[in-house]
A and B are shown apart, each in its own frame.
Chain A
Amino acid sequence: MAIMTSFMWKNYFRHTTKEKEITTVLKENILFQDLTGRQLKFVSKIVHLRKYHSSEIIFRQGEAGVGMYIVVSGAVSIKLEDSSAAPGSEKNEIVIVSMSPGDFFGELTLVEESGKRSAAAVADEETTLIGFFKPDLLKIIERNPTTGIKISLRLGEVLGRRLKETNERVSKLEEKLERYRLKK
């Protein structure tokens, strides 16, 4: 299960970043990499810097979500509830991927009407995150459309890439399933 879903959360755009200023972290993130210095400064005034203690829950699986997080420092685990656990038994959580500085997660909720978190996120140590949410994206589009379009296009690219990876994965699984059926 963990192997199957981790690709969904894998950061294909990873940059090795240490704790830096918000603008520097943003500049290294694929969503904001096309922005000019002035546009980055504008966005940095809108995004939110949040600090989490070790073991603190960032969001829960199934909870409504309105945006994404970028890891500035620390580490975050993305966890899924183990659906294979026996009914009535205590639900276990499986770590599907660990996020390090520069990684980002939760971007799908930026475009969903009422998005639900498909997994939980927990801080593994003292962690600092940049929160970028739907209201922030709408605010950027309203006040500075050029910046908004650049971010939206990159967001489309990220989501498209995730979809492509998912399709490839599903195709491979279907092939495996077909082979398994034929063998039977």
Chain B
Amino acid sequence: MRKIGIVKKELYVKSFAVISILALFLLIVITVENILVSFVMAFVINYILAPVVNAVERTGVSRKITVSGLFLIITVLFGMGLYVLFPILIEQLSSFRDELPKFVEGITKFIAATEQKFNFALSSFYKIDVSSKVASGLSGFSNRIFEDLPALISSSIAVLILAPFFAFFMLLDGQMITKKLLSLVPNNFFELALNLQHRMNAQLGDFIRARLLEAAIVGFVVWAGLEIIDFPYAALLGIFAGLTNLIPYIGPVIGAIPAILIALIHGISGFGFLILIIVYLIGQLIDAFFIIPLVVAKIVDLHPVFVVITIIIGAQAGGILGMIISIPVVCMLKLTVQTIYDQLVEFHT
């Protein structure tokens, strides 16, 4: 009887220790600035590089040398990429900054003209007045966007340093840390916890790699298409289309909006406008007919209503970044809950 008491006491102590460690970790990640985004990015980097590290390790090279060497190569490649891409992006950003007032004016005029047509059609029944509100809103936004840029860049630099730092140790010591954490799990739940961790790790890895590959291909297709038709800001629009493609259903539409607005302001219409739409459509068709069936087969399906609610919550919590990471985060949560549920059912039947 006394022995059973000891086993139960140990079970409670160990369970409390594991839950406390996880809760403390979550609290730090959520409350400390930049840590959440850095951790999400570190996990993404970890899942992208893990197959490469394992492949090199299979040849007999030690994991320490593999991870260090890989990070050195990536740093050099990233530096070279930045050296090539940075001037293009800066040029496109400064050009965008110079032309922003023109865009705001163009959009305002476009809305005012549309509003006038509607008011003429509606005659005396109803009078629409949104152009003045849109004009003041847009002018405030255009002033703010470049005022907020330095803060955004400094925050991005912090994430750019922290994320690879965390990812480096995740790749090097991740398995050891997981094993240490698992050693705290009470005996009753040990096999369940180990199997759960393994399944979640495998599924999350597949999910993240598939979605990122999809975003990269769509972004590249849009970039290449826009370059071919000589559309302005092709690089920026390609990156934007790739990133927003991570948002299901409405992401591709959001990704095309900036290009459509630029086309309207530049007075591109008729055949030119059609070609622009075709470029974005090709990106989506390649995604729908080749990438999703071949690569993203393991994506977690969410109901459209749930997706929209999630995106609204994400937008309110973290703006555009919140919108982009909200769906992957919710997909991960759904996957986790589903796996835990399946596992618990499996272990008790």
Contacts and interface: CB of A to CB of B under 8 A. Distances in A.
A52 interface: yes
A145 interface: yes
B10 A144 contact: no
Interface majority SS on A: helix, strand, loop or mixed? mixed
A64 B347 contact: yes
A181 interface: no
Interface stretch (B144-152, B174-182, B262-270, B321-329): B174-182
B194 A53 contact: no
B187 A143 contact: no
B191 interface: yes
B182 A143 contact: no
Given A66-B191, A144-B57, A53 B176 contact: no
B58 A50 contact: no
B182 A48 contact: yes
Please tell me the size bucket of the interface on B: 20 to 34
Return the 6 tightest CB-CB contacts between A and B, nearest first: A135-B198, A64-B347, A66-B195, A56-B7, A55-B3, A64-B346
Contact of B6 (A48, A50, A53, A139): A53
B4 A63 contact: no
Interface of A: 45-46, 48-50, 52-59, 63-67, 114, 131, 133-135, 138-139, 142-145
Contact of A138 (B58, B183, B198, B346): B198
Contacts of B4: 55
Which of A46, A56, A133 counts the most B-chain CB atoms under 10 A from its CB?
Answer: A56
A53 B195 contact: no
Given A48-B182, A53-B6, 17 more contacts: A45-B176, A46-B175, A46-B179, A49-B183, A50-B190, A54-B3, A55-B3, A55-B7, A59-B191, A64-B191, A66-B191, A131-B190, A133-B194, A135-B194, A135-B198, A138-B198, A145-B58
Contacts of A142: 54, 58
B206 to A, nearest CB: 14
Contacts of A67: 191
Contacts of A66: 191, 194-195
Contacts of B6: 53
Interface in B107-123: none
7 contacts: A56-B187, A58-B187, A65-B191, A135-B198, A138-B198, A143-B54, A145-B58
Given A56-B7, A66-B195, A48 B347 contact: no
Interface in B152-186: 175-176, 179, 182-183
A59 B194 CA distance: 14
Given A45-B176, A64-B347, A66-B194, A53 B10 contact: yes
B5 to A, nearest CB: 10
B187 A50 contact: yes
Contacts of B3: 53-56
Given A135-B195, A138-B198, A48 B10 contact: no
A58 to B, nearest CB: 7
Nearest to B347: A64
Given A55-B4, A135-B194, A63 B176 contact: no
Contacts of A53: 3, 6-7, 10
B170 to A, nearest CB: 15
Contacts of A145: 58
Nearest to A47: B179
B49 to A, nearest CB: 14
Nearest to A56: B7
Contacts of A48: 179, 182-183, 190, 194
Contacts of B58: 142-145
A64 to B, nearest CB: 5
A124 B346 CA distance: 28
A133 B54 contact: no
Contacts of B54: 142-143
